[in-house]
Structure 1
Amino acid sequence: MDNSLRLLALRLFVRVASSGSFAEAARYFDLPASSVSRHIAGLERSLGQRLLYRHTRAVRLTDAGERYYREVRSILESLDAATEQVISGAKQPQGLLRLNAPVAFGRRHIAPLLASFQQANPVVEIELTLSDAFIDPVQEGADVVIRVGSLGDSSLVARQLATQRFVACASPAYLTRCGEPHHPEQLSDHNCLVYKGTRGAQPWYFQGAGNPQAQRYSVTGNLHSNNAESLVEAALQGQGIVLFPTWLLFDALRDGGLTPILETYEALGEATREGIHAIYPENRLRSQKVAAFLEHLFAEIGERPYWDHH
């Protein structure tokens, strides 16, 4: 196996190992699945080791494959970073920048700033993936992932973009028809439109002035959805009350389509305040395109996010 074919085989192996799928790796590299399988089989023969267990529904690393994957992935990342630095030199950032963000946040706040970024950096290509699933940027090969909510333990670098501020609100028509609650307990008498995603129904918390902890309140309603924007639209139509972060509601609040309620309480989507973070592997910061994008992102959103200026 010559060096160019070996390098391709290594990249295919890392993609199959991270995605668990020959078909996904074939789509990613725009190759036939049979070609991916042939390259990896050749790599295994040259090593004298089986790297993958092939099953009809899944692909799993062998013990040797697991060790090899960790080493090869790190080496390829370093190779790509070094190549970018040499090619770029003193010139502007270039290459493919892979971004991932939640669907609603990405559509509203990431996609709109890409045009100005690429105008300033015309030789940077961008691949933007919007998904509400929590992805691992290392396994998925993403340069920057925008994560909304809790982070959990991670070896990744995380920079807080903003703190999430939640608001409970309803349309003026709904409040005229059904009355305005003045205590969170009164929400049980109202039609609450609840987000229900992969982690189940989003809880509604409120914290009164002087209280050390937020309290969870039981809410019910006739519409649940895994699409937050659909619930906001229903609230605008006067169907009920929603509780969402200001980054999602800011235009409806600014235009008067929705009116904040329970303003003497702090609304929360979890028991504690959560943030919006940009996360990435530490070695990505050596990349000019990643550093340039992060600088643009933070400058555009600002120290106090523009969506809290209503």
Structure 2
Amino acid sequence: MDNSIRLLALRLFVRVAMTGSFADAARYYDLPASSVSRHIAGLERTLGQRLLYRHTRAVRLTDAGEHYFRDVQRVLDSLDLATEQVVGGAKRPQGVLRINAPVAFGRRHIAPLLASFQDEHPAVEIELTLSDAFIDPVQEGADLVIRVGVLSDSSLVARKLATQHFVACASPVYLKRHGEPHHPDELSEHNCLVYKGTRGVQSWYFQESESDQAQRYPVKGNLYSNNAECLVEAALQGQGIVLFPTWLVFDALRDGGLVPILKSYQALGEAAREGIHVIYPENRLRSSKVAAFLEHLFLAVGDLPYWDH
């Protein structure tokens, strides 16, 4: 196996390991699936080790494959970074920038920035993946991940984009029909539209002042969804009350489709105030395309996020 073929085989192996799919790797590199399988089989023969267990519906790594994948991924990342710096340098970001973000935040606040960013940096290709699942950037090969919510301890670099502010709100039609609650206890008498995602049902918290401890209030309603925008749309139609971050409902509040309630209380989605962070592996700090996008993102959002104006 010569060096060029071996490098392709390594890239194919990493992609299959990341996605668990030969078909995905074939689509990604625009190759026949049979070619992907042949390259990886050749790599296994060269190594004298089986790297993947192949099943009808799934592909998974062997123990040897797990160790090899981690090492190869680090080497390929370093190789790509070195190539980027030599060919493009800091003055000309280039290459593929892989970004992962939650569905609603990515659609509303990341996707609209891409055209202007790529106008400034035409040599950068972007692969944007939207998912509400928490991913490991190293495992998934992402350059940047937008993480909304409480940030767990991690060896990754984290940079805070904004503090997350929540608001409870409903349409004027709903409030005229059912009345406006003046204390969180009264929410039990209202139809609350509740987000139910990968971490379960979102709790509703309120506190009277910064010095008070946030208190959880039980809520229920006739609509639960793992898609926040569907719940916002239902609230706009007068179906019930929602509690969401301002970055999600700012336009509906601005246009008057939704109005804030319980304004003398601080609304929270967790017992502690949450943030919006950009996380990335430490070696991405040396990437000019990552640095350029971070600058573009933070400038667009602003010190006081535009959705909180």
TM range (shorter): over 0.9
Contact 1:51 1:64 in 2 (8 A): yes
Q: Which consecutive segments of 4 or more residues in structure 1 shift more than 4 A?
A: none
Please state whether the residue corresponding to 1:148 is helix, strand or coil.
strand
Instruction: For residue 296 of structure 1, report the CA deviation from its aligned partner.
Output: 0.6
1:114 is aligned to 114
Instruction: For residue 59 of structure 1, report the CA deviation from its aligned partner.
Output: 2.3
The residue correspondences of 1:1-310 to structure 2 (distance < 5 A) are 1-89=1-89, 91-209=91-209, 212-309=212-309
The whole-number CA distance in structure 1 between the counterparts of 2:131 and 2:234 is 22
Contact 2:159 2:278 in 1 (8 A): yes
Instruction: For residue 55 of structure 1, report the CA deviation from its aligned partner.
Output: 2.5
Instruction: For residue 23 of structure 1, report the CA deviation from its aligned partner.
Output: 2.2
Instruction: For residue 24 of structure 1, report the CA deviation from its aligned partner.
Output: 2.0
Please state whether the residue corresponding to 1:98 is helix, strand or coil.
strand
**Structure 1, unaligned runs of 5 or more:** none
After the TM superposition, which of the residue ranges 286-295 and 197-206 deviates more from structure 2? 197-206
The whole-number CA distance in structure 1 between the counterparts of 2:116 and 2:232 is 28
**Structure 2, unaligned runs of 5 or more:** none
Contact 1:169 1:242 in 2 (8 A): yes
After the TM superposition, which of the residue ranges 112-121 and 204-213 deviates more from structure 2? 204-213
Contact 1:168 1:267 in 2 (8 A): yes
Equivalent position amino acid for 2:122 in 1: P
The whole-number CA distance in structure 1 between the counterparts of 2:67 and 2:99 is 27
Please state whether the residue corresponding to 1:152 is helix, strand or coil.
coil
After the TM superposition, which of the residue ranges 45-54 and 262-271 deviates more from structure 2? 45-54
Instruction: For residue 154 of structure 1, report the CA deviation from its aligned partner.
Output: 2.0
Q: How has the CA–CA distance of structure 1 residues 160 and 90 changed in structure 2, closer, same or farther, with 3 Å as cutoff? A: closer
| Count of residues in correspondence between the two structures | 309
Instruction: For residue 236 of structure 1, report the CA deviation from its aligned partner.
Output: 1.4
Please state whether the residue corresponding to 1:173 is helix, strand or coil.
helix
Equivalent position amino acid for 2:27 in 1: R
TM-score by length of 1: 0.95
The whole-number CA distance in structure 2 between the counterparts of 1:12 and 1:153 is 31
Equivalent position amino acid for 2:175 in 1: L
The whole-number CA distance in structure 2 between the counterparts of 1:107 and 1:294 is 17
Equivalent position amino acid for 1:97 in 2: L
Instruction: For residue 304 of structure 1, report the CA deviation from its aligned partner.
Output: 0.9
The whole-number CA distance in structure 1 between the counterparts of 2:250 and 2:210 is 27
Equivalent position amino acid for 1:275 in 2: G
The whole-number CA distance in structure 1 between the counterparts of 2:66 and 2:98 is 25
Equivalent position amino acid for 2:39 in 1: H
Instruction: For residue 206 of structure 1, report the CA deviation from its aligned partner.
Output: 0.8
Q: What is the Cα-based RMSD across aligned positions, in Å?
A: 1.4
Equivalent position amino acid for 1:142 in 2: A
Contact 1:19 1:139 in 2 (8 A): no
After the TM superposition, which of the residue ranges 231-240 and 17-26 deviates more from structure 2? 17-26
Q: How has the CA–CA distance of structure 1 residues 137 and 90 changed in structure 2, closer, same or farther, with 3 Å as cutoff? A: closer
Equivalent position amino acid for 2:187 in 1: L
Please state whether the residue corresponding to 2:75 is helix, strand or coil.
helix
Instruction: For residue 3 of structure 1, report the CA deviation from its aligned partner.
Output: 0.3
The whole-number CA distance in structure 2 between the counterparts of 1:174 and 1:288 is 50
The whole-number CA distance in structure 1 between the counterparts of 2:26 and 2:154 is 29
Instruction: For residue 90 of structure 1, report the CA deviation from its aligned partner.
Output: 5.5
TM-score by length of 2: 0.96
The whole-number CA distance in structure 1 between the counterparts of 2:118 and 2:23 is 31
